[in-house]
Amino acid sequence: MRRYRVNDPASCGIDANMARRAWTDERLDERMAAMDQTVDRIYGELEGIRQEIRGLRSDFASLQDRLVQIGFGLVGVLTAALVALTVALA
C-alpha cells in the first residue's frame, strides 16, 4: 500500500516547477488585493464594535450612578427608621 504525503507535490502527480510557475505576479497581486479588502472590512467591523462598546460603557456608568443613588436612599430611610424606633422606645 502506497502512502501519500500531502506536502509532497510529486505524490499528487504535480510537477514542483509547474506549481511554482502557476503563481504569476498577476495572481499574487489579485490575491493580495483580495486580502487587503478583507482586512479593511475587518477593521471597519472592529471600529463599529468599538463604538458599540463605548455606548455600553456609557449605559453602565449611568446604571451605576442610579444604583448608588438608590443605595444612599435606602441607607437614609433605614437610618431614619432606626432613629424613629430609638425615639419611640426611649
The pLDDT of residue 48 is 94
The pLDDT of residue 3 is 54
For residue range 75-88, list pLDDT tens digits in order. 999 999 999 999 99
| DSSP assigned state of 90 | -
pTM attached to this predicted model: 0.49
15, pLDDT greater than 90: no
Q: And the C-alpha cell for 73?
A: 436612599
Q: Which residues of 35-57 are buried (b: 16+ CB within 10 A; e: fewer)?
A: eeeeeeeeeeeeeeeeeeeeeee
Q: Which long-range contacts (CB under 8 A, 24 or more apart) does 55-60 make?
A: none
For residue range 23-37, list pLDDT tens digits in order. 788 888 999 999 999
The pLDDT of residue 38 is 95
20, pLDDT greater than 70: no
d(CA 86, CA 90): 6
Report the SS3 class of residue 14. Answer: coil
